[in-house]
Homo-oligomer: A and B are copies of this chain.
Amino acid sequence: MALRENQPLSEVGEFELVEAIVDNFPQGEHVLVGPGDDAALVRAPKGHVVVTTDLLVEGRHFRRDWASARDVGHRAAAQNLSDVNAMGGRTHTLTLGLTLPGDLELGWPLEFARGFAEECAKVGASVVGGDVTRGDAIVVAVTAIGTCSVAPVLRSGATPGDVVALCGRQGWAAGGLTVLKRGFRSPRVLVEAYRRPEPPYDAGLQAAEAGASAMMDVSDGLVADARHIAAESRVAIDLRTADLEIPEPLEAVGSALGVEPMDFVLTGGEDHPLLATFPDAASVPEGWRVVGSVGEGSGVTVDGEEFAGAGGWVHF
């Protein structure tokens, strides 16, 4: 039976569905056994194993009217690849779990799989296994497994005197989400940044090799995530707005919507740039921008002052 992309999943056999999804996942040379057996088997590069996992729930982490299935596939992979990147590691293997409603059209998981595969290909990682089951809502469960070939960079290693540096876009996704929430579709570059973040996948290892003392990816907001490094390292961090870039489209959205564009940069999440600390400015690698400094004390300040935005307490 030929499958049509507009066919509801309730009319598709489970094995056919799995096969159609798996067809999108090329298996790298390091994969000895891919999907289909009890478990997958992989030859991993030498080094420590890095593992991370994330769930995306429709309505909470994505909306089908704001992002295509392919976009969601890109984003689901990106946020996990980024977590491995933030340790100084590189992902070689991923697993994917999907719960899908029966009335969803087949095209959704297939387009999702294409986007997921495209994002994984950026770092040469293979999707070796997964599970697909019926559920009332779309839930995406991703686990990324990588190797850290150098000493891993944790959140806890910053010391007073270090400089704080950033690599990658920051605030773009928040700008894109804001215009989507207000019913607009432009500036297109921001909407695209929200739909498909572009984490700097080469920067994690680069920073680790350059001697970064602490590192994480910015997924919840620059100030909010800097607080994690400050807390784990038992130091104070000061961010300098003069060194934080406000790209032209964020300026445009800010003045159009009456929002301070620096707020996107300070509080926006989901761009997945890397935030790291280095012993001095000279050790900060190319492509990174020094945006602050580490001192004695605790907490995060912006231009030396308490930051009022980006609340702390999150209710489940």
Tell me if A167 is interfacial: C-beta within 8 Å of chain B. no
User: Which of A9, A60, A97 has the most B CB atoms < 10 Å from its CB?
Assistant: A97
Shortest distance in angstroms between A281's beta carbon and chain B's nearest beta carbon? 24
Question: If A55-B141, A313-B13, A316-B17 touch, does A43 touch B48 (CB 8 Å cutoff)?
Answer: yes
Q: Are B52 and A216 in contact (CB under 8 A)?
A: no
Given A152-B41, A314-B15: A129 in contact with B52 (beta carbons within 8 A): yes
Across-interface contacts of A154 in B (CB, < 8 A): 33, 37
> A312 vs B133: C-alpha distance in the bound complex, in angstroms?
17
Number of interface residues, chain A, beta carbon within 8 A: 73
Q: Is A99 an interface residue (CB 8 A)?
A: yes
Measured CB to CB, the residues of A under 8 A from B are 9-15, 17, 32-33, 36-44, 48-55, 57, 60-61, 82-84, 86-87, 89, 93, 95-100, 102, 128-137, 139, 141, 143-146, 148, 152, 154-156, 215-217, 232, 313-316
A100 to B53, CA, bound (A): 16
Q: Report copies per complex.
A: 2
**Within the complex, what minimum Cβ distance (angstroms) separates A105 from chain B?**
12
* Cβ contact within 8 Å between A37 and B134: no
Q: How far is the CB of A109 from chain B (nearest CB, A)?
A: 10
Contact (Cβ within 8 A) B39 A48: no
Dominant secondary structure at the A interface: strand
- The answer to whether A145 and B41 touch across the interface, beta carbons within 8 angstroms, is no
Q: Nearest chain-B residue to A141 (Cβ)?
A: B141
Pick the contact of A84: B39, B43, B216 (CB < 8 A).
Answer: B39
Given A14-B314, A33-B154, A314-B14, does the pair A39, B60 have CB atoms closer than 8 Å?
A: no
| Shortest beta-carbon distance from A147 to chain B in Å | 10
B137 touches A137 (CB 8 A): yes
